[in-house]
Amino acid sequence: MSIQRAKLLVSGLRWHHLGFAFFWATTFAALTSSSEELVGGYESYSFCKQVVVVLTLVIAAYLLRARDSYTQRHAIMAGVLLATGSLLFYLAFFFGEYSLEAVLVAGVLVGCSSGGFFVMWQSFYASEGASRTAIYIPLSAACSVVLCLIVSVLPVIWSVVCSVIVLPALATYCLCRSLEEIEPYEIIPCTSQELSAVFRDLGKPVFCVSALGFVWKLVGYFDHSGESQSFLILMAGMACATLIVTLIELFSERGFDVLAFYRILFPIVTGVFLLPTLFGEGWFSVLSGLLMFGFEVLNLLLLMTCAVYASRNSLNSTVVYALCVAPTLCALVGGDVFGVVLNHANVYDFAFAVDVMFVCIYGLSVVMFFASVGRSRRKASRIAAHVVPDAEGFSAVKDSVGKQAERSAGPVPSEGSHERGVSSGEGALPGSPSGFGAPASMAQAPGFSVAAGASLSLEKRLAELELVEQLSQREREVTELLLHGNTVPAIARKLFISENTVRGHTKNIYRKLGVHSKQELIDLLG
């Protein structure tokens, strides 16, 4: 069953939905400097870029707090900034005299572009719903690893071509295609009450990811294995992380949430921390790789959780993403800063490095205690419902005041919607936790049934209306569910299609029947 589901998943994918991989490959592999003489300049670039990313997320969340819509123009602007920043990066580090000003400008441009790509892709993921998001993100990360390895072995001139032209162009094209598929829907205003609910629900997972990211960055400065080996360890850790998360989403019935995985990872990490003290400093690279692996797994799960949380609660995805990811990025910056300060303030001493490791173990232990006390178990399960399906599909999530926060059909989307064929879910395997595809008919989907009398009644009523443009079979199925009071997320789960596809069908149904809301539909056909 799982293998068949995976095959159907691959056959139903559209490559532009994984376009985030092109952006990741540009920033993680292409824009790196291996020159020992320019290490300080690269640190300045990296620090500037990360700070600007955080500022971009905060500004975007503030400016777009009342809406969550992006256009192709925004995607093109982000792509141009990425290409320009990449060009300045190579001019500063590879083809000209080193200039701190050029490095900082490159950091600002790439940082602004990164923030833009982050929030726009997150908006698309949130609009797709839980069924698709839990697969899009890890598969995009897996593709980015492959692209990183390819770019890393290319000559400098071809790396320039990829970083300045090819990868930014592909990243922009994929983002534009994906943004086109977003159907408008109603978003709950981000009041102080809603923001407090986000902090309560996602605060502990964010804290765990931030702590592990800080420790990973800090310990990385004690790894003197060399740039090439460090890069290979980085890629190996990221590859293992993406593989684990992808396999979880493809083949696991329940999967893992952030807090659960942190509790599993904690004893492993603390054990590996002892290896350098027992066997020498050569084991710092192993420790750094394991920390990288753990952080990437938690980070991927957090990204999925943010998107699904925003979708299930009808919240602004940009605001939720900024609240969760900005602290993580700040923790990474803090780890870099502390690592640089410690390296510059002290001549390298193995005993001092051991002391730092024990401080890290103590910090991770405090985080472990914090994540395990109080309401952690209930909250972890609640968050896991966003990321992994239960026996009945993806669980619905209630908001902070205890009311159901599932999304309604919302306003009628604009004209021009289109189906995505196989990617929209045609011909999928029933019961797929990942939610890709749809069965040939509703009767094939487990847990979904409509009374035969109701179906016959709908067909009879549609025949009486003598519609100029008849409803398709899929539109009839959606209509049945709408008449029974199902919301967009519920319909997406039952038909194994994306929420954007449901909104597109709803728009077509409203247009063909001449109605403008779910209530008018019920009055007409109920």
CB atoms within 10 A of CB 247: 14
pLDDT at 108: 94
> Averaged over 495-517, what is the pLDDT?
81
Q: Which of 39-43, 70-74, 101-105, 239-243 has the lowest mean pLDDT?
A: 39-43
- Is the pLDDT higher at 452 or at 28? 28
Res 342 pLDDT > 70: yes
Structure tokens at 444: 């094939």
**pLDDT recorded at residue 451:** 43
* pLDDT range class, residue 1, cuts 50, 70, 90: very low
DSSP state of 190: -
Q: Please, which pLDDT band fits residue 253 given cuts at 50, 70 and 90?
A: low
The 3-state secondary structure of 193-208 reads HHHHHHHHHHHHHHHH
What mean pLDDT is predicted for residues 166-190?
Answer: 88
Residue 255 clears pLDDT 90, i.e. is over it? no
- The torsion of the CA quartet 344, 289, 10, 315, rounded to 10 degrees, works out to -50
Please write the tens of the pLDDT for every residue from 360-373: 999 999 999 888 87
Residues 6+ apart with CB under 8 A from 147: 21, 22, 24, 25, 29, 167
Is residue 222 pLDDT above 70, yes or no?
yes
On the question of pLDDT at 276 being above 70, the answer is yes
pLDDT at 256: 63
More confident of the two residues 125 and 237: 125
**Where does residue 449 rank: exposed (0-12), middle (13-18), buried (19+ CB within 10 A)?**
exposed
Does the pLDDT at position 240 exceed 50? yes
Q: Which pLDDT does position 439 carry in this prediction? A: 36
Mean pLDDT of the chain: 75
Lowest mean pLDDT among 273-277, 432-436, 463-467: 432-436
* pLDDT computed for residue 228 by the predictor: 60
Instruction: Report pLDDT digits (tens) over 380-395.
Output: 334 443 333 333 333 3
Mean pLDDT lowest for which of 7-21, 222-236, 315-329, 498-512? 222-236
Where residue 75 falls among pLDDT bands split at 50, 70, 90?
very high
**Which pLDDT belongs to residue 284?**
79
**All structural domains of the chain:** 1-185 (1.20.1250), 190-407 (1.20.1250), 424-525 (1.10.10.10)
List Cα–Cα distances, 150 to 25, 158, 159, 179, 264, in angstroms.
10, 11, 10, 28, 33
User: Is pLDDT at 515 greater than 60 in this prediction?
Assistant: yes
- CB-based contacts of 24, cutoff 8 Å, min separation 6: 140, 141, 144, 147, 148
- Per residue in 404-424, pLDDT tens? 333 334 444 333 333 333 333
Instruction: Look at phi and psi of residue 451 and say left if phi exceeds 0, alpha if psi is from -120 to 50, else beta.
Output: beta
Specify the range with the lowest mean pLDDT, choosing from 104-108, 262-266, 285-289, 327-331: 285-289
pLDDT bin (cut points 50, 70, 90) of residue 379 is very low
pLDDT for 77 equals 95
Residue 434: pLDDT over 50? no
pLDDT confidence bin for 466, thresholds 50/70/90: low
Q: Please write the tens of the pLDDT for every residue from 46-56.
A: 889 999 999 99
